[in-house]
Structure 1
Amino acid sequence: MSKSIKLAVLGLGTVGTGVLNLLNDNLAELKRRSGHDITITHVGTRRHRDDIDPNICQESDLMAIVRNPNIDIVIEVIGGQTVAKEVILEAIKNGKHVVTANKALLAEHGNEIFALAEQYHVHVAYEAAVAGGIPIIKVMREALAANKIDWLAGIINGTGNFIMTEMRDKGRTFEDVLTEAQALGYAEADPTFDVAGIDAAHKLALLASIAFGIPLQFDKVYCEGITDITLQDVTYAQELGYRIKHLGIAARRYHDGQQKEYGIELRVHPTLIPEDKLLANVNGVKNAVLVNAHPLGATLYYGDGAGAGATASAVMADVMDLIRVLTVENHGHHVPHLAFIPEALSDTPVLPADQMQTGYYLRLQAKDNLGVLADVTRILSDFGINIDAILQKPAHKQGEVPVIILTLPVIESKMNDAIKKIEALDAITAKVVRIRLDELAS
């Protein structure tokens, strides 16, 4: 039996307008897929807009909208964490299902929000919070439900990926590309969340909880941005057969020779990837997430990670799922918010940063003296760090030489200690540049 589903959209920025446009363009298709009429009856906006359908009520009082008994689903796309949190909690208490694109809010307050939703028997859907139009949340919660996910790695911030791509392809500096990214609308006037890695860390916290069945723990994500990446390092990495990408990585760690995991790594940082790997060839503003699961193996999910169309697509996909819940007797059964039933979430600890394990790219600035390289390699050996490759460039700048060393994976604390020893050598004239390295699956 056909039912009329009434939606409220809170926020009429890029995403909110995109949702209205998508519904207007694809209304017939959405009705064919759902079997029900879908109508946006209210929008929350601070100023009246003449380009909105006059049949839609424009309202500045967001609380009045979420308390309206005639609204079935609330779509929150206002952003931020204060007002958005208040209206989402109020919507839940009023029995409304919620769709949100707010990764920062969920990463930092999702445990509270999801617990309240369980209490009131409603659902909070958030596909648009990670990787835009790529359906990575649905894939991990549903399509990979029979698998044990061992690790995932993602390019989950389009601004950072655009900057790294331009630096590599066109030999441009970070500052130059950032200015263009702002002009193109890829980066905000204050780009800190993007270039410092905070946006990617919010998204990684969500992906990791879904992958491993752990509570959201944004505060334990190691976060490093791309502001210190130089054109020099991009060039040297290419000479060694690598590309630098800004990645979010979540991985189970196991005791040697055992299946029992002892911790989980959550880290966001620039990463050297072999140039023939799939993630190394994701360019521009595109996003991609590589998931390694048992027994399926590695699978890659690629597409637009932002923009009105991509994000609206993810928002409306969540709406369609919630319509099915609303129109099944007793509201049917839903996939748990974090993929695992709440009482089964794991207490596996997130490892501190000094226990992370990766390979490393090290760039040293050294005096062109006999025996310097031998001293450096001895120090690395003393800490059990194995060298994979060495690149020594011609001497310049008063007899100084750049030396680039690639290492095999090692615990970060050992690398920290080794770098201190190396920097203490008289022949080392600058701080050691360190970029992590991962041999990711194809």
Structure 2
Amino acid sequence: MFRKIMVANRGEIALRVLRAARELGIKVVVAHSEADSQSLPVLLADEAICIGPAPSAQSYLNIPNLLSAALITGAEAIHPGYGFLAENPQFAEMCRDHGIVFIGPTPESMHSLGSKAGGREIAARSNVPTVPGTGVLRSVEEALEAAEAIGYPVLLKASAGGGGRGQKVVRSPEEMRTAFAQAQLEAQNYFSDPSLILEKYIELFRHVEVQVMGDGKGHVVHVGERDCSVQRRNQKLIEEAPSRLDEALRQEILAAGVRLAKYVNYQGAGTLEFIVDPEGNYYFMEMNTRIQVEHTVTEMVSGLDLVKLQIKIAAGEPFTLKQSEIVLRGHAIECRINAEDYEKDFRPSIGKVETLHFPGGPGVRVDSHLYAGYSIPPHYDSLVAKLIVHGEDRQEAIARMRRALAETVIEGPGLRTTVPFHLRVMDDELYQRGEVYTDFVARLLG
């Protein structure tokens, strides 16, 4: 097992990794920007090292600074969390070149699965259905030709991206040239890669994802699936496990996820994302080669610590968990608490946290880096807490989440969070009945 690892991330995921490592007896170095010098992971770390000023490009995305920090502190491995460099194969390769273990999949897996075009190709080889679409487009003329063959509406997507960035819905040839240029620009700005692919746009669907763990030698298991259909502008807001799928379809999707991960001898934690339309057709979208924000609901229903498993696999410990040993119980829901004002189009809200109270009681978990007196910086993602509950069934989980949200207090001058939004969702009849597709938030807010 490692003696010391470095966390190359911030916020609640840095704290999550720190806690898992500490329970394994590992010392933790937290790399941080100047803006995060008083963050909770930094205050709780065994060691902390500043890697640059507030802008991500100069700190959390600064590969030379991160590698230097790991070497200076004697860290044997780096956990990248999610976002930032977590899915960057160049970073994983450079870690390996410097004798540092990257806690995640191999650079080769990340190269093959990291782009949407590459993921589509591997899905086809492993007999996993994909949405009708293309490989990387070479020109807008090629996009127009492909759209004509597939049929409008279509979706332009950044091949190297995720989180809805670099995506444009195109409903006619007249829209294509402008949308193509805009999507390329966004893809370049967010992912330093302007490559685009094109897919048939499916208007109404559930977003279902399969959690897998692999040892890099062909042994892969799934840890169930999650429903992530409550989204706004392709950003997930609420996730739950298990999904509300017919059992036969659920098993088929789980098997497809394992099949694809085995095809590339996947190592560590990974997530395969699927579209499921109202008729029960399912299509592979992409694979996220990292731990996900919403891994918590899978942990709640499985009893497994996925971050500890990541670390153990990266350390070379045998991964012997069998599929038959994974038993999922009950229902879990996660609400992402963002520092945003949902009544003003989810406008970011920053400020100092003066009053803070998180809920407790049976089946309630809070992952957060907040503390009273902490000032939320304006430079990063607005996620400030994850509220997760577990119940015997979905009905109890909803009731428990409603109770937990009502107990949550995050207050400060001018500070707003999405707690009121989540309470509104929990009270919504369509949500309570499980009639939720990716257009749910648009319908809810009118």
Q: TM-score under structure 1 normalisation?
A: 0.31
Question: If the length of structure 2 is used for normalisation, what is the TM-score?
Answer: 0.31
Instruction: Give the structure with higher Rg (CA).
Output: 1
Which structure carries more relative contact order (alpha carbon 8 Å, separation 6+)? 1
